[in-house]
Amino acid sequence: MAIKTVPLRVPPPASLPFVSINMAMTADGKIASENHRITSFGGDYDQRHLLELRSEADAVMAGARTLEADEITLGPGPLPYRRQRLQRGLAEYNLRIVVSGSGSISPRAAIFQKRLSPVLVLTTKAASPSRLEQLEPVAAEILVCGSKSIDFRAALAYLKNAWKVQRLLCEGGGELNEALFAAGLVDELHLTICPFIFGGQTAPTLAGGTGVAHLQNAQSLVPKSRKRVRDRVFLVYEVKKHAAPSDPS
């Protein structure tokens, strides 16, 4: 039985993995064009940077719309990166995680076709039994983590406990990123600034969702490093943690 319900208790911070987000962004803050047709614009070095970051992660995660926008499989890439993983004491192939609260991700998405490593689907009770039935044959586990939206704190604690995920890399998109920031679960942000302006009022940005209404509620970042490679700028930020919610029980 691949469908499991994740217990929604408030785990202590030590039971959570280290979470990094890696994104490429235009100079006007867009992560894709308004029509979602331009999805890849980071360039060659950014692609290598992405594979380097994957080579340090136990698991790589993305949202349903990101995985459907492209032939994305979230795998570790060519042999040199897989060797690096082994040298670091990690499994040759990282675990892959799909976020799909309503279970709308297509079972024909590229991530399910490449049988590199287990694919876990994080979903909610809002996903219909028929959708889950379609995903069951292609997912190693379907994790029901909440009623309407995913309780990421509980989900990440489960991933650390059951799947030994110490380092989790999230590769967007904006809706998923915002949920992780809002839950106070992100430790580090890797941002590649690309020399383009896309415009478009509804073109997706690094963090979607409803956003904050007051500056004091904004997620604060601490710059850690910056590097310029040709016309791209690579930034790393530490994400300031806000206090974890206390256990209501």
Ligand X SMILES: NC(=O)c1ccc[n+]([C@@H]2O[C@H](COP(=O)([O-])OP(=O)(O)OC[C@H]3O[C@@H](n4cnc5c(N)ncnc54)[C@H](OP(=O)(O)O)[C@@H]3O)[C@@H](O)[C@H]2O)c1
Binding site for ligand X (CB under 6 A): 23-24, 31-32, 36, 39, 62-66, 69, 99-105, 149-150, 171-176, 179, 204, 208
| Identity of the residue, 31 or 95, whose beta carbon is nearer to ligand X in the bound complex | 31
DSSP per position, 158-208: HHHHHH--SEEEE---HHHHHHHHHTT---EEEEEEES-----TTS-BSS-
Quick one: CA dihedral 50, 55, 57, 62, positive or negative? positive
Rg (CA), the chain: 17
In the complex, the smallest distance separating the C-beta of residue 149 from ligand X, rounded to whole angstroms, is 4
| Identity of the residue, 53 or 164, whose beta carbon is nearer to ligand X in the bound complex | 53
| Identity of the residue, 66 or 73, whose beta carbon is nearer to ligand X in the bound complex | 66
In the complex, the smallest distance separating the C-beta of residue 83 from ligand X, rounded to whole angstroms, is 25
The Cα-based distances of 160 to 11, 33, 51, 119 in angstroms read 11, 35, 22, 15
In the complex, the smallest distance separating the C-beta of residue 126 from ligand X, rounded to whole angstroms, is 7
| Identity of the residue, 39 or 134, whose beta carbon is nearer to ligand X in the bound complex | 39
In the complex, the smallest distance separating the C-beta of residue 178 from ligand X, rounded to whole angstroms, is 8
Pairing between β-strand 232-239 and β-strand 119-123 as defined by DSSP bridges: unpaired
Nearest-CB residue for ligand X: 173
Is-contact 64 104, C-beta < 8 A?
yes
